[in-house]
Amino acid sequence: MSNPVFERIQAEISENPVVLYMKGTAMFPQCGFSARVVQILMHMGVKFKAVNVLEDPSLREGIKQFTNWPTIPQLYVKGEFVGGCDIVTEMFQSGELAQLFAEKGVEYRPVTA
């Protein structure tokens, strides 16, 4: 049996190199965790698609089931689930996020300390 929410998520992460499922929009995040991930991506100059899960309750629950990850935001790079706010923050601070973008061929602005 097909799941239209899972199909939508699969299409979004297949068609966009970087996708952030978040609460609110990139211009107006509705939670601090979503705001932090947006801030990191913008600081790195990464183009990304932001998907507001607050607009669709089935998507809000579906994304958690899709990844088996209980929290939002959720970041995907080239179709691969990266993690939530804590993981993205740690990866940014350690340089792993820039390395991931480089390996996946995603354009970003190198950040110098």
List pLDDT tens digits, range 22-57.
999 999 999 999 999 999 999 999 999 999 999 999
Are the C-beta atoms of 6 and 58 separated by less than 8 Å?
A: no
Sequence length of the chain is 113
Residue 112: which pLDDT band, with cuts at 50, 70 and 90? low
Kindly tell me if the per-residue pLDDT of 103 is higher than 80. Answer: yes
Q: What is the mean pLDDT of the chain?
A: 95
pLDDT digits (tens, 9 = 90+) for 51-76: 999 999 999 999 999 999 999 999 99
Asked if pLDDT for residue 111 goes beyond 90, the answer is no
CA–CA distances in Å: residue 47 to residues 52, 67, 74, 79: 16, 22, 16, 15
45: left (phi over 0), alpha (psi -120 to 50) or beta: left
Predicted TM-score of the model (pTM): 0.94
101-106: which pairs have CB atoms within 8 A and are 24 or more residues apart? 101/44, 101/46, 101/77, 104/17, 104/77, 104/78, 104/80, 105/17, 105/78, 106/17, 106/18, 106/46, 106/77, 106/78
Q: How far is the C-alpha of 73 from the C-alpha of 71, rounded, in Å? A: 6
What is the percentage of the chain residues whose pLDDT exceeds 70?
97
β-bridge pairing 49-52 and 18-22: parallel
